[in-house]
C-alpha cells in the first residue's frame, strides 16, 4: 500500500519535531534539519544575516520552491531560474547566476536558498562561495541523491571540459532542509538511483541502520514517509559524522566514496547520461564488495545483504565493461594520490577502510564479473 501525504500514518510522522544534525561547527556552522513538512516552515530554519533571500530553483523543483517562497514571503529579494542539466553545471552558468544576483541588488549579508538536486546545490553553493568572496547560502534538496549526499558536507563546484567538479570550493550551507515531501515529484529512476547513496552511508557507517533500512526496503520504495525519514536521517547522520571528522577530505572522508572508484569510471566511460550517478555507484559497490570479500574479510552474508538491497533498488542498466575503456578512466581518478588508487572496502557492514594497494587490474577483473542480481 502506498501511503500518500494525507495518509493517517504520515500525519503521525509530520507531528514530530525535526531532527537537528550538525554537519560543521564554527566559523562556518552548517546544520541539517530532517523532518516531514519542513518546507512549509522553511522560514524557521533558513538563515540569512540580513534576513533577505535569493531563491534559486529549476522548473523541476517548482512545487518545493513555491512552498519555500510562501514560507519566506517578503523576505525573498529575487527568484533566479536555474538550468539543472549536468551539462549546464558550468562556469558560464555560475556567471549567469551571479549576474542575476547582482542585478537584484544583492548585498554581502544576503543569502541564497538553492532548491533542487545536486546540480543546483553545487552550482548555487559555488556562486555563494565566490560572490563578494563568500555569502551565506542554504540548501533545500529535492532529490534522494541531494538529501543523502550532494547537499551535505560543503562541497560546491562546477564542471570543466576536462572533468566533473574540477572547479570548486568548500563552502557549507548554513541550513539544509531534508523533507521527504520534497521528493513527491521526483521521477522513479532518479528516486531509486539516489537511494544507493543513502544505503551506501549505512553500509560504511551504521550497521543497525543498514539492517533496519534493508528490512524496510519495500516501504522505502513505496515512498512511505516514516521509512524514508528513518533512512535519510540515518544517512545524513553518518555523512555528517564523517565530514565533521575530516571536513576537507584529508583522509577519512574518502570512505564516502565507497563504490565511486569504479563508479566514476563507469559513468564517464558510458558517456555521462547513460547511467545515473547512483546507478554507476551501485555497480561500483557490487565490484567493491567482490574485492572486499577477498582483501578485507567481508563475510559472505554481509556481501549478500548489500547485493540484495542493490538488486531491490534496480534493475539498473548494464554498464560499460570494456577493460580498455575503463582502464583509461580509472587511471585518471581524481582521488588517486602518489601512493595509488584510493579503494574503499568494507571489512563488515558498517565499517569501511581505505586500501591504496589494490591494483587497477583487480578493479577491471571485478568489473568483468560483478553482478547485481
160 catalytic, yes or no? no
Angle at 182 between CA 177 and CA 184, to 5 degrees: 165
Cα gap 341→284, rounded to integer Å: 14
Among 256, 266, 313, 330, binds ligand GLY (CB under 6 A): 256
Per the annotation, the verdict on 277 as an active-site residue is: yes
Separation of alpha carbons 120 and 57, rounded Å: 7
Which of 149, 267, 290, 320: binder of ligand GLY (CB under 6 A)? 149
With CB under 6 A as the contact rule, which of the stretches 148-156, 270-278, 281-289, 348-356 interacts with ligand GLY? 148-156
Least Å distance between CB 119 and ligand GLY?
14
Nearest approach in angstroms of CB 253 to ligand GLY is 5
**Catalytic residue status for 239:** yes
Window 155-174: residues binding ligand GLY (CB under 6 A): 155
3-state secondary structure of 228: helix
Query: Considering 164, 171, 264, 276, which one is annotated as catalytic?
Result: 264
Among 253, 264, 276, 277, interactor with ligand GLY by CB under 6 A:
253
Q: Report the C-alpha gap between 56 and 236 in whole angstroms.
A: 23
Whether 138 is catalytic is: no
C-alpha cell at 140: 533545500
225-245 vs 8-15: helix crossing angle, rounded to 10: 30
- Asked if 335 is an active-site residue, the reply is no
Applying CB under 6 A, the span of 100-108, 112-120, 147-155, 200-208 interacting with ligand GLY comes to: 147-155
Judge whether 10 counts as a catalytic residue: no
Active site residue: 69, 89, 200, 277, which one?
A: 277
For residue 31, the cross-strand partners are 22, 175
Q: In the complex, what is the shortest distance from the CB of residue 5 to ligand GLY, in angstroms, rounded to a whole number?
A: 29
**For the chain, percent helix, then strand, then coil, each to nearest 5?**
55, 15, 30
Phi-psi region for residue 158, left (φ > 0), alpha (ψ -120 to 50) or beta? beta
Maximum Cα–Cα distance across the chain = 59
Shortest reach from residue 14's CB to ligand GLY, in Å: 29
CB distance 156 to 122 below 8 Å: yes
**Annotation says 89 is catalytic:** no
Residues that bind ligand GLY (CB under 6 A): 149, 153, 155, 249, 253, 256
| Active centre residues (catalytic) | 133, 155, 197, 239, 249, 253, 257, 260, 264, 277
Amino acid at each position: 500500500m502506498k501511503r500518500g501525504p494525507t495518509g493517517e500514518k504520515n500525519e503521525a510522522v509530520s507531528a514530530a519535531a525535526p531532527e537537528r544534525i550538525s554537519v560543521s561547527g564554527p566559523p562556518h556552522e552548517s546544520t541539517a534539519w530532517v523532518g516531514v513538512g519542513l518546507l512549509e516552515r522553511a522560514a524557521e530554519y533558513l538563515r540569512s544575516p540580513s534576513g533577505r533571500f535569493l531563491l534559486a530553483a529549476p522548473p523541476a523543483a517548482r512545487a518545493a520552491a513555491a512552498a519555500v517562497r510562501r514560507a519566506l514571503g517578503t523576505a525573498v529579494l529575487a527568484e533566479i531560474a536555474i538550468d539543472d542539466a549536468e551539462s549546464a553545471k558550468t562556469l558560464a552558468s555560475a556567471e549567469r547566476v551571479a549576474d542575476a544576483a547582482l542585478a537584484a541588488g544583492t548585498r554581502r549579508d544576503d543569502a541564497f536558498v538553492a532548491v533542487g538536486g545536486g546540480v543546483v546545490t553545487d552550482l548555487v553553493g559555488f556562486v555563494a562561495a565566490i560572490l563578494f568572496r563568500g555569502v551565506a547560502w542554504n540548501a533545500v534538496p529535492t532529490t534522494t541523491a541531494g538529501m543523502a549526499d550532494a547537499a551535505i558536507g560543503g562541497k560546491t563546484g562546477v564542471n570543466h571540459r576536462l572533468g566533473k567538479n574540477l572547479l570548486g570550493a568548500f563552502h557549507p550551507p548554513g541550513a539544509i532542509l531534508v523533507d521527504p515531501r520534497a521528493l513527491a515529484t521526483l521521477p522513479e529512476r532518479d528516486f531509486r538511483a539516489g537511494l544507493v547513496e543513502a544505503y551506501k552511508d549505512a553500509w560504511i557507517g551504521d550497521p543497525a541502520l543498514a539492517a533496519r533500512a534493508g528490512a524496510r526496503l519495500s516501504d522505502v520504495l513505496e515512498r512511505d514517509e516514516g521509512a524514508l525519514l528513518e533512512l535519510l536521517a540515518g544517512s545524513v547522520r553518518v555523512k555528517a559524522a564523517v565530514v565533521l571528522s575530516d571536513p576537507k577530505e584529508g583522509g577519512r572522508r574518502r570512505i564516502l566514496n565507497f563504490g565511486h572508484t569504479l563508479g566514476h569510471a563507469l559513468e564517464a566511460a558510458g558517456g555521462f547520461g547513460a547511467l545515473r550517478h547512483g546507478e554507476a555507484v551501485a555497480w561500483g559497490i557490487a565490484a567493491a564488495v567482490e574485492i572486499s570479500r577477498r582483501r578485507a574479510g567481508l563475510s559472505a552474508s554481509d556481501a549478500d545483504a548489500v547485493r540484495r538491497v542493490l538488486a531491490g533498488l534496480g534493475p539498473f542498466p548494464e554498464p560499460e565493461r570494456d577493460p580498455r575503456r575503463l582502464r583509461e578512466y580509472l587511471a585518471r581518478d581524481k582521488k588517486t594520490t602518489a601512493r595509488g588508487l584510493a579503494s574503499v572496502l568494507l571489512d563488515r557492514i558498517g565499517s569501511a577502510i581505505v586500501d591504496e594497494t589494490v591494483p587497477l587490474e583487480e578493479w577491471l577483473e571485478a568489473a568483468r564479473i560483478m553482478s547485481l542480481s
